Amino acid sequence: MLLLLLLLLLHLQLGLCVPLPAPSNVSISSYNMMHSLRVWPGPRTPPEARFVVQTLSSRGSRWRSVAECSNLKSGQTCNLTNDFTDVFDHYRARVRAVASNQTSKWTISRQFQPLSDTVLGPPDVSVSGCGNCLILQVRNPTEDLLEHSSQLKDVLWDLVLSVRRTRDGAEVSSRSTVSYLQPGVEYCVTASFSSSFSQKSVSSERRCSFTSPPPDEHSCRFPVLL
């Protein structure tokens, strides 16, 4: 009986000494300069565990706590947009689990740079015909992005176009000037933006339009004598 009691006490002590698992992964994603962190709990993490987030700038020496992300539940994301304010800087984030009186080890994310790691959303595009050409109206992406960082006003954005003929899918142009097209033919356009810092982008929805109709081949012209 005494031996059984000792084994039970030893089992309880060992159970209390089991360390809290660290998060298995920490990932930072960004869309149009809106940055968010996601954390994956480690195996056997108790459901009541919460997660604490800190960030580090390559130009700094101290980790800083993210006040809004000091009590994250499993499955919640952490908005880091206001913490990664310099689009040219490099950052890391680290996360640890907290439960009862235990804290886990830190799990550190990969290095993140806002400008090169963000995904540029699709531009707004409208298309209309103009004879043997297409008129494209494209909304500048910096109108939205400047809301998050004034540094972006000095970044040069390249417009990438794909113009395809509807009847056979042939790509006829990948330039910003779309001219010398066949009259009376439908063309479809998709557009995206890129910069020297980032090639990650999402193309717009396909926009299609006919060029102006060609002259009626069956019409006849007669001379008029005055």
Domain extents in the chain: 22-117, 125-210
- How many Cβ atoms are within 10 Å of 46's Cβ, its own excluded? 13
Give the tokens for residue 186. 């439908």
Residue pLDDT, tens place only, 137-189: 887 666 667 666 777 777 767 788 888 888 877 776 555 556 778 888 898 99
The reported pLDDT for the residue numbered 138 is 83
To the question of domain 22-117 being in CATH 2.30.30.100, the answer is no
Longest CA–CA separation in the chain, Å: 131
Q: Which residues pair with 173 in a beta bridge?
A: 163
User: Which has more pLDDT, 71 or 217?
Assistant: 71
Selected residue with higher pLDDT from 214 and 222: 214
Give the three-class secondary structure for 95. strand
Question: Which pTM does this prediction carry?
Answer: 0.74
- Is there a shared CATH topology between the 22-117 domain and the 125-210 domain? yes
- Say if residues 203 and 188 touch (Cβ distance below 8 Å): no
**CATH code for the structural domain at 125-210:** 2.60.40.10
Number of H helices, E strands in the chain: 3, 14
Average pLDDT over residues 16-36: 89
pLDDT per residue as tens digits for the range 74-112 = 889 999 999 999 999 999 999 999 998 899 999 999 999
User: Of 38, 34, 47, which Cα lies nearest the Cα of 107?
Assistant: 38
- Kindly list the strands in the beta sheet with 77-79, ordered across the sheet, starting from the edge strand earlier in the chain: 25-31, 34-40, 77-79
Residue-wise pLDDT tens digits, 28-76: 999 988 999 999 999 999 999 999 999 999 998 899 999 999 999 988 9
- CA–CA separation, 16 and 14 (whole Å): 5
